[in-house]
Amino acid sequence: DGGITQSPKYLFRKEGQNVTLSCEQNLNHDAMYWYRQDPGQGLRLIYYSQIVNDFQKGDIAEGYSVSREKKESFPLTVTSAQKNPTAFYLCASSQVEGGPWSEQYFGPGTRLTVT
């Protein structure tokens, strides 16, 4: 089955620690995205990548970092510089060539709690 996997589902960290969230897709999509979701708010874009070894900041990139070494993988690191890291994090992917790139497909999410 094609899809997007995120792991772990729940993650707990102490303040001051960096943490990396995993996102893998086997949809053969070129583009991948990270969003943050807080209660009562729409999704906010953290980072996106449309091709391997290239990525761009979204609206709320401060305190986060990403890498895109493989087409299938787009891990997100939440650094200690992120002031309010507790949130639900969603990874998504979409086509770029040969299809409507704007149709994004989401993973199941990772809920990060930092205390």
Residues of the shown chain interacting with other proteins in the complex, contacts defined by CB under 8 A: 4, 6, 33, 40-45, 48, 50, 56, 58-60, 90, 92, 100, 102-109, 111
Nearer to other proteins, 17 or 62 (CB): 62
Nearer to other proteins, 42 or 98 (CB): 42
Q: Nearest approach, Cβ of 109 to other proteins (angstroms)?
A: 5
Q: Nearest approach, Cβ of 71 to other proteins (angstroms)?
A: 18
Nearer to other proteins, 52 or 60 (CB): 60
Q: Nearest approach, Cβ of 82 to other proteins (angstroms)?
A: 17
Which candidate, 65, 61, 88, places its Cα nearest to that of 75? Answer: 65
Q: Nearest approach, Cβ of 76 to other proteins (angstroms)?
A: 14
Nearer to other proteins, 13 or 44 (CB): 44
Task: Give the C-alpha separation, 67 to 5, whole Å.
Answer: 17
For every residue of 59-103, DSSP letters joined together read TT-TTEEE--SBTTB--EEE-TT-S---EEEEEEEE--SSS-TT-
3-class secondary-structure state, position 32: strand
Rg (C-alpha) for the chain, rounded Å, is 13
